[in-house]
């Protein structure tokens, strides 16, 4: 920062005792003029300084924000291999690179060999990470026994039957497969547009077989738990075998099992490793007992065919958007608990909601209920559904599926 020029000298008044009265007045007047001039200049400088100060404060605030953003931008997960006098040797997850790096003295106290830490682009340790079990708990959603039943799923009866055959039957009646002389499927892959009931299907299977439902989202492995994908996949299968019988549900499997050519990200190698771990878990699956694996994707076209080989996800079930009868059933399911007026016509609703997925139909029914509440009615009428339909399709061209969630 440059220094401001020095302040003007303070005018001095030297009154010669010899001066006449008139001369004294003139000298004082002159002095007053000097003082006023200096005052004006100082006032101007003060204004300038104030302005400067405001500008600097603004700049400081901006820098602070940038600094925060830098601090919160992506960090990499690493493990402290060894604390030495020269700093810490950390090994970055994912690429196994070892680096010698600095640790701020404030953090040093908290860190021990073997701890997991977050490092920035230049490997400097930013903070310690919670224990491994936390990542595991965060990455996996465990439901002891989901409450969803097959009766809650509408319009995909064939898919329900296929899932039951592929998942339930090997558990309940394994001899049937032996007698016929075929291997039961290892994993089931549900594919189809978003919101069509894939997760519900997996939960209903868990409910029906009294199994624990363990869900992991492929996209989170890639975005949130960078560097830990492979380990978390291993943990996922371990957790399932601790909770037998269990249903493992891997949502958005395309995130970890996309065709190699498709991936442009730098996390490519890491994603590959996660997929390899998944494949090896599935290949070693036979000894695993009562654990079923179901995966789901909206991007079947993107999948690496390696995961579809026999002994892996060898049972493919397409879960499409419901047809008109399916939509009618789904409207009936989602209005079961609603106080409906007599004029509500499911057939007409199903016709109106062309191209809607199950999830979209669910949102539409909730929206219709909101219109009744706004109108201070306890009964939901056909007109509420019509208004709800207009609302949810407002910004969409006709026939385009609406993105909910």
Ligand X SMILES: Nc1ncnc2c1ncn2[C@@H]1O[C@H](COP(=O)(O)OP(=O)(O)OP(=O)(O)O)[C@@H](O)[C@H]1O
Binding map of ligand X across residues 245-284, x = CB under 6 A, - = no contact: ------x---------------------------------
List of residues 6+ apart from 135 with CB closer than 8 A: 129, 225, 228, 232
**Nearer Cβ to ligand X, position 335 or 393?**
335
Q: How far is the CB of 339 from ligand X (least distance, A)?
A: 19
Under the binding rule (CB under 6 A), the answer on residue 333 touching ligand X is: yes
Q: Which stretch binds ligand X (CB under 6 A): 22-30, 119-127, 354-362, 384-392?
A: 354-362
Q: Which stretch binds ligand X (CB under 6 A): 104-112, 138-146, 189-197, 387-395?
A: 189-197
Instruction: Please calculate the CA angle 225-230-236 and round it to the nearest 5 degrees.
Output: 85
> What's the first-to-final CA gap in the chain, in angstroms?
51
Residues 341/350/354/149 CA torsion (nearest 10 deg) = 100
CA of 385: how far to CAs of 32, 223, 396, in Å? 84, 38, 17
CA-based Rg of the chain, rounded to a whole angstrom? Answer: 35
Under the binding rule (CB under 6 A), the answer on residue 194 touching ligand X is: yes
The tokens for 3 are 């220094």
E-only strand ranges, 202-305: 212-217, 246-251, 291-297
β-pairing verdict for 116-119 and 76-84: antiparallel
Q: Do the Cβ atoms of 135 and 226 come closer than 8 Å?
A: no
Q: Number of residues interacting with ligand X: please give it, by CB under 6 A.
A: 19
Binding map of ligand X across residues 156-185, x = CB under 6 A, - = no contact: x-----------------------------
Residues 303-332 that bind ligand X (CB under 6 A): 330
Q: How far is the CB of 161 from ligand X (least distance, A)?
A: 14
Q: How far is the CB of 252 from ligand X (least distance, A)?
A: 7
* Number of C-beta neighbours around residue 116 at 10 A: 19
**Nearer Cβ to ligand X, position 119 or 139?**
139
Q: Which stretch binds ligand X (CB under 6 A): 113-121, 154-162, 179-187, 205-213?
A: 154-162
β-pairing verdict for 315-318 and 187-191: parallel
β-pairing verdict for 291-297 and 246-251: parallel
* Number of C-beta neighbours around residue 201 at 10 A: 27
Give the residue numbers of the binding site: 195-200, 334
Give the residue numbers of the binding site for ATP: 195-200, 334
**Nearer Cβ to ligand X, position 87 or 193?**
193
Give the residue, chosen from 184, 185, 187, 197, that forms a contact with ligand X under the rule CB under 6 A.
197
Rule CB under 6 A: which residues touch ligand X?
153-156, 194-200, 251, 296, 298, 330, 333, 358-359, 362
């Amino acid at each position: 920062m440059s220094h401001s020029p020095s302040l003007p000298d303070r005018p001095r008044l030297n009154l010669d005792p010899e001066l006449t009265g008139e001369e004294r007045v003139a000298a004082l007047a002159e002095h007053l003029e000097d003082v006023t001039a200096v005052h004006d200049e100082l006032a101007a400088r003060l204004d300038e300084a104030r302005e400067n100060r405001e500008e600097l404060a603004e700049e400081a605030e901006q820098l602070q924000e940038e600094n925060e953003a830098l601090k919160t931008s992506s960090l990499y997960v690493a493990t402290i291999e060894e604390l030495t006098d020269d700093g810490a040797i950390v090994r970055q997850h994912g690429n196994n690179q070892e680096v010698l790096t600095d640790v701020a003295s404030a953090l040093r106290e908290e860190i021990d060999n073997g701890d997991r830490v977050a490092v920035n682009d230049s490997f400097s340790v930013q903070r310690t990470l919670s224990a491994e079990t936390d990542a595991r708990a965060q990455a996996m959603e465990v439901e002891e026994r989901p409450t969803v039943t097959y009766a809650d799923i509408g319009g995909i009866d064939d898919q329900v039957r296929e899932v039951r055959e592929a998942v339930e039957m090997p558990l309940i009646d394994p001899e049937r497969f032996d007698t016929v002389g075929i291997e039961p499927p290892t994993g089931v892959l549900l594919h189809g547009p978003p919101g069509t009931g894939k997760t519900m299907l997996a939960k209903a299977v868990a409910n029906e077989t009294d199994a624990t439902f363990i869900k992991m989202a492929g996209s989170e492995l890639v975005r949130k738990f960078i560097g830990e994908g492979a380990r978390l996949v291993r943990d996922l299968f371990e957790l399932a075998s601790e909770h037998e019988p269990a249903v493992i549900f891997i949502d958005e499997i395309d995130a970890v099992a996309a065709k190699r050519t498709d991936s442009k990200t730098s996390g490519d190698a890491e994603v590959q490793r996660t997929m390899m771990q998944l494949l090896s878990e599935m290949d070693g699956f036979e000894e695993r007992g009562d654990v079923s694996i179901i995966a789901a994707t909206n991007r079947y076209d993107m999948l690496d065919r390696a995961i579809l080989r026999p002994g892996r996800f060898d049972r493919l079930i397409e879960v499409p958007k419901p047809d008109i009868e399916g939509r009618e059933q789904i409207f009936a399911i989602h209005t079961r608990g609603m106080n409906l007026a007599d004029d509500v016509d499911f057939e007409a609703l199903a016709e109106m909601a062309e191209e809607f997925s199950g999830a979209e139909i669910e949102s539409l029914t909730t929206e219709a209920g909101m219109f009744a509440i706004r109108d201070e009615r306890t009964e939901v009428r056909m007109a509420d559904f019509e208004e709800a339909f207009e609302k949810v399709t407002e910004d969409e061209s006709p026939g385009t599926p609406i993105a909910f969630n």
